[in-house]
Amino acid sequence: MEDASVYRAIVAAAEAGRRVALATVIRTRGSVPRHAGSRMLVDPERAPEHAMVGTIGGGCGEADVITAAREVVASGRPRMVSVQLTDSIEGWSPAVCGGTMDVLVEPILPAADA
């Protein structure tokens, strides 16, 4: 069902002529909050509370991917982001899952831009 929300958001952005970025987890190693195939759409032109649809896991790693997605939208070029969730277990951190995720962030451009 989550993918359906992402796909609907892609269609809505295309119909409105907005540039967006699709982030897809393509590889995981170790313990991670989401697995390969998880998707998130970032729409920088929308208000912050509506700028993301879907999730790749939340927290600092997702924030890094959102930043990269904004850059991808601006440049029109895809980018790979490695999300490290391996902080020291001795220190408090919400990013301690123990694994890593590789996330492909690709632009989805309106037909006029493509």
Q: What is the pLDDT of residues 60-93, one digit of tens each?
A: 788 899 999 999 999 999 999 998 877 655 555 5
DSSP-based three-state secondary structure for 62: helix
What is the pTM for the complete model shown?
0.85
Q: What is the pLDDT of residues 19-59, one digit of tens each?
A: 999 999 999 998 888 889 999 999 998 888 889 999 998 77
* pLDDT for position 91: 52
- Ordered by start, the domain boundaries in the chain are 2-108
User: Which of 50, 76, 53, 62 shows the shortest CA–CA distance to 25?
Assistant: 62
Confidence of residue 96 (pLDDT cuts 50, 70, 90): low
